[in-house]
Structure 1
Amino acid sequence: MKFTLSIAFFFLSLAQIFGQESNCFENSTGLYWPVRVGLQKNLTYGNNSYVSTFEGDSLEFEGKYYFKETQKYSTGEVKTRFWREENGAVFSLDQEKGIESLELPSNVEVGSKWISTDKVWTYEILSLTSTYLTPFCEFSDLLEVKTESSEREGTVYTLYYKKGLGMIGLNVNGQPFSYIKPDRKVNERSFIAYGCENFGTSQEIEKCTNAKISQHIRENLKSPQSTVKGRILLNVRIDESGEVSEVTVMETVADGEALEAEAIRVMSSLPKFIPAQVDDNQPIATNLKVPFRF
């Protein structure tokens, strides 16, 4: 069986906290999902990042006015979304479908459930006292919302909201995928494969590291005898010492257990890396996303 793979890096420490003093939005207050002009956030998103900015009333639909949110990604891509707030409840507008859906009710209570207007997304409030850890901050007293899509069976999204800021963290099937970054400039460095540390630029070092990971997979993967085809996404946690500490399946295919087991075995055997670092050159744990296409 042939396979292809691509590799994506993104950072989230589960053990080290940096820059706590004045960069963790300690004084933010207001709604869990604020919709206001001038609100700007910098977030990671998988192996990319984006800046979210709210602009003024820019769209009218059926007599209701929506704020425009512009998301500018590090890849150059720009996305636009539209939101409005009414008596504490937050609504989103799907321009393509021409429908409005409730994103967060005004009465925020544990156990509250709702569904999008098109019946695709379901939501449930899990907690009002959750915590969330990033490489820079430890947030507490967060609103935690679980959401699932009928079009993405088997994928569970968990969103974390802080009053006055909105979403500050997102997990996919229990694995971190996005988090808010401080307003100030921070220094992040990915983990590095031994032998790549002196290659010059960060891009050359990353290319070298990717190549070594790909080589390890090619040389060690033994494709099971299976007729199953599709995409399996693994999350590989590389700890503060640079060693693989955990490999979990984030996305899979029906009857793909044999493929999962082999992919997990190979990724668990990755050699030790120079660990990722953040801000003050302290090592942090890193999550490596590896999609396999069989």
Structure 2
Amino acid sequence: MKYFCLLTLFLVSINSFSQKEGQLFCDGDPNSDYFTLLDSNKYIIWRNTYYVEKMERQKQLNGKTYVEYSQSWESGDVVKLYLKKEKGVVYQFEDCCDDDTVRMPNHPQKGDTWKTADGLVTYEVISIESELKTPVCSYKNLLELKSIFSNGEFTFFYQKGYGYVGAKEKDILISFVVPRSPKE
């Protein structure tokens, strides 16, 4: 009888946890921020490849504390990002400059604009009520961020409580998150 009770309790707790995970993935958390520093793996399809983004550790750079993220690409390449959050603003460390780049302002609003620390990329909040349909989820109430690079223009989408969920180039979906590794 003990075994049966323990097994039942275990199965109920797994089911409850799984439901919360699925809800977080597609529904996010409307009471949270658009750009969260998550301590979990994030699997991201980008065009015809993918990468896994993972929080690694804290790192000191120029006397400031950042959270190090690795983006491990299918090809084996690894890109490191260094992010920090201060007063609700998410910043990214820039090797090039004496200042950090704003990745996401505190309480972003439609029409907000900013540039990277080197001045090469411009960001503009297009909407905080956008929708995005991917092969995995149909998202609503997303922050839509237009990003103008020297080599093109992209639109990135962020969900409260989860962060980045996808990107478009010229209205074509080129990137989206998936709940598990594409290798599985």
Q: What's the TM-score once normalised by structure 1's chain length?
A: 0.51
Could you report, residue by residue, the CA deviation over 1:78-113 in whole angstroms, capped at 9, with x for unpaired residues? 111111111111111122445411111103111111
In the alignment, does 2:109 pair up with 1:109? yes
Deviation, 1:27, is 5.1
Deviation, 1:55, is 2.2
Match of 1:165 in 2: 162
For residue 25 of structure 1, give the secondary structure of its aligned residue in structure 2.
helix
CA distance in 1, matches of 2:119, 2:178: 33
Could you report, residue by residue, the CA deviation over 1:103-134 in whole angstroms, capped at 9, with x for unpaired residues? 11103111111112211111111111111111
CA distance in 2, matches of 1:31, 1:23: 16
**C-alpha distance 86-142 of structure 1, shift in aligned 2 (>3 A):** same
Match of 1:53 in 2: 54
The residue correspondences of 1:1-294 to structure 2 (distance < 5 A) are: 22=22, 25-26=25-26, 28-29=28-29, 30-36=32-38, 38-61=39-62, 63-97=63-97, 99-149=99-149, 151-152=150-151, 155-183=152-180
For residue 94 of structure 1, give the secondary structure of its aligned residue in structure 2.
coil
Amino acid in the other structure paired with 1:105: P
Question: Quick one: percent identity of the two aligned structures?
Answer: 25
Amino acid in the other structure paired with 1:46: R
Could you report, residue by residue, the CA deviation over 1:112-162 in whole angstroms, capped at 9, with x for unpaired residues? 11112211111111111111111121111101010102x22xx21100001
For residue 177 of structure 2, give the secondary structure of its aligned residue in structure 1.
strand
Deviation, 1:174, is 2.1
C-alpha contact (below 8 Å) 1:23/1:184 kept by paired residues = no
Q: What's the TM-score once normalised by structure 2's chain length?
A: 0.79
For residue 22 of structure 1, give the secondary structure of its aligned residue in structure 2.
helix
CA distance in 1, matches of 2:27, 2:168: 24
Bigger shift: residues 75-84 or 22-31:
22-31
C-alpha contact (below 8 Å) 2:126/2:146 kept by paired residues = yes
